[in-house]
A and B are shown apart, each in its own frame.
Chain A
Amino acid sequence: MKTKQLVYGIIWSFLYIFLILTPILILLAGPKYSGRPPLLDLSVSLGFTGLAIMALQFVNSARLKFFNQPFGTDFVYHFHRQIGIAAFFMVAAHPLLLFILDTRYLRLLNIFTAPWRAKFGLLAVLLLIAVVWTAEYRGKLKIPYGFWKIWHGILATLMVGLALTHIFTTGDYTDLPWKRILWIGYTILFLAMLAYTRVIYPLKLLRSPYQVEEVRKERGEVWTAAMKALNGKGLRFLPGQFAWLTAWKTPFSDSEHPFSIASSAESPQRIEMSIKSLGAYTAKIQTLKAGDKVYVDGPYGSFSSERYPDAKNLVFIPGGIGVTPIMSMLRTLAERGDRRPIKVLYANQTWESVTFREELEDLRKRLNMELVYVIERPEQNWKGDAGFINTGIIKKYIPADWMPDKAEVFLCGPAPMMNAVEKALIAAGLAEKCIHTERFSLA
């Protein structure tokens, strides 16, 4: 399974790079133009590449399972962000190089007097600045996730539409039929992705609703929503994967939020999501009532012990609410009667806020599992480990003969904790390839 995924990953990567570089490759293969300033060609090539990346961003974010699976959804989203920033600089270089080439191009910045082709280009660049700026600084700008997500999609769609119109109305580099075919192809791909993500896929979700069965309170301001599939099929998932939840609205509203599935993969008919009250949306989860209709889109993600069936030993390191995907793995392993040695190093701020504390005690008995709590701010009578998970704690609980690659380690928690623990694991002698992480901060 791993080799197959790797092969697909390599194929998709090459295909993606090829599609991005095709506009320049086609220009390179085309006829030679004498007398055209090199800076103009350089400017156009970078603009083309930037736009090709932007058009393909819709594929990245479309959650196509065959595309996401080899990489893992968090990887695809990180890549989406990083390549988006790179594309921003490439697109920005397009007008900047033109201004360097000839200051008369600066006149095109006047939106009232500029020709339509320049107006389209200028508006596209302004929208791109808005898209990247709000995505990068959403937290600082205090834009709620749901609101941002909707506008990110709308602004990006307008931006790519305007940029494609800019190319067709300018026409200088689409003089040959195959160059036009290329950009028409990109436009069709872009429109197809839009139709798929905004109409076809939401329709599919609308036909497979879930019903809330119960909502219960857990320790640490966490609420668990249990949901039953109404179509009878349920959700076949790997323990540790996540799904997008739409509550109170239809799938067309684009108001979904990603949450880990915390229940056992052995019960696909009834799934549970345990959600910590961190923001406006997550705080609202407790108001869900039995009988409410919700929509679940999943499963996604590659964070699962299931992907490593040959692992001799398993280590789980959750931090705070990062315990939810790990609970799914532990519950599944327990239901299957798995007897492999397991270590759980569970980091929390206080003992009182340790979510699933009681159930973990039960799982300890059912599994061949050692459970260690590391409390950041312990009470005076706390006898366990205190502070943060560091190399010392890792060496204390993970046997030396599990190093460097006799255990698969699953780490999920807040980003600073994950960065620190990842470094500590490597310092303790664990091979990097044995560390599996899930990084999300979309609350």
Chain B
Amino acid sequence: MRQRISKLLVYAIVFSAIALALAFAYLKTGSI
């Protein structure tokens, strides 16, 4: 169970980072 929590935390970080990176890339350059 603890291993699953660790994995969930990793996924949460990775997906938030990718979402924020995409947001930065597409919102800050005026491309869309």
Does B28 contact A30, Cβ atoms closer than 8 Å?
yes
CB distance from B31 to the nearest CB of A (A): 5
Does A45 contact B21, Cβ atoms closer than 8 Å?
yes
Task: Name 18 interchain pairs, CB-CB below 8 A, sorted by A.
Answer: A21-B17, A24-B20, A24-B24, A25-B20, A28-B27, A34-B29, A36-B29, A41-B21, A42-B22, A46-B21, A75-B5, A78-B2, A79-B9, A82-B10, A83-B10, A86-B13, A90-B14, A90-B17
Report which A residues bind B (CB closer than 8 A): 13, 17, 20-21, 24-25, 27-28, 30, 32-39, 41-42, 45-46, 49, 53, 71-72, 74-75, 78-79, 82-83, 86, 90, 432-433, 435, 437, 439
Given the known inter-chain contacts A42-B25, A435-B1, please indicate yes or no for A78 contacting B6, CB distance below 8 A: yes
CB distance from A35 to the nearest CB of B (A): 7
Report which B residues bind A (CB closer than 8 A): 1-3, 5-7, 9-10, 12-14, 16-18, 20-31
**Complex Cα–Cα for A20 and B23 (A):** 16
For B14, the chain A residues whose CB sits under 8 A away are: 86, 90
CB distance from B25 to the nearest CB of A (A): 4
For A20, the chain B residues whose CB sits under 8 A away are: 13, 17
**Complex Cα–Cα for A81 and B4 (A):** 14
For B6, the chain A residues whose CB sits under 8 A away are: 75, 78-79, 82
**Complex Cα–Cα for A38 and B17 (A):** 16
CB distance from A411 to the nearest CB of B (A): 12
Does A82 contact B7, Cβ atoms closer than 8 Å?
yes
Does A39 contact B16, Cβ atoms closer than 8 Å?
no
Given the known inter-chain contacts A45-B25, A79-B9, please indicate yes or no for A28 contacting B31, CB distance below 8 A: no
For B7, the chain A residues whose CB sits under 8 A away are: 82
CB distance from B4 to the nearest CB of A (A): 9
**Complex Cα–Cα for A437 and B2 (A):** 9
Does B16 contact A72, Cβ atoms closer than 8 Å?
no
**Complex Cα–Cα for A351 and B17 (A):** 52
**Complex Cα–Cα for A108 and B4 (A):** 40
Chain B interface mostly: helix
**Complex Cα–Cα for A41 and B18 (A):** 12
| Inter-chain pairs besides A20-B13, A45-B25, A433-B1, 14 sampled, C-beta below 8 Å | A20-B17, A21-B20, A28-B24, A28-B27, A28-B28, A32-B30, A35-B29, A42-B22, A53-B13, A78-B6, A83-B9, A83-B10, A86-B14, A90-B14
CB distance from A84 to the nearest CB of B (A): 10
**Nearest B residue to A45, CB-CB:** B21
For A25, the chain B residues whose CB sits under 8 A away are: 20
Does B12 contact A17, Cβ atoms closer than 8 Å?
yes
Given the known inter-chain contacts A20-B17, A75-B5, A432-B1, please indicate yes or no for A38 contacting B10, CB distance below 8 A: no
CB distance from B5 to the nearest CB of A (A): 7
Does A28 contact B2, Cβ atoms closer than 8 Å?
no
CB distance from B12 to the nearest CB of A (A): 7
Most buried by A among B5, B24, B29: B24
Which among A28, A33, A34, A35 is the interface contact of B20 at CB below 8 angstroms?
A: A28
**Nearest B residue to A32, CB-CB:** B28
Which among A24, A32, A33, A37 is the interface contact of B21 at CB below 8 angstroms?
A: A24
**Complex Cα–Cα for A439 and B2 (A):** 10
Does A38 contact B2, Cβ atoms closer than 8 Å?
no
CB distance from A415 to the nearest CB of B (A): 11
Given the known inter-chain contacts A46-B17, A46-B21, A435-B1, please indicate yes or no for A41 contacting B29, CB distance below 8 A: yes
**Complex Cα–Cα for A208 and B31 (A):** 61
CB distance from A401 to the nearest CB of B (A): 23
**Complex Cα–Cα for A129 and B28 (A):** 31
Does B10 contact A79, Cβ atoms closer than 8 Å?
yes
Most buried by A among B5, B10, B21, B28: B21
CB distance from B29 to the nearest CB of A (A): 5
**Nearest B residue to A84, CB-CB:** B10
CB distance from A307 to the nearest CB of B (A): 13
For A27, the chain B residues whose CB sits under 8 A away are: 24, 28
CB distance from A313 to the nearest CB of B (A): 20
For A78, the chain B residues whose CB sits under 8 A away are: 2-3, 6
CB distance from B1 to the nearest CB of A (A): 5
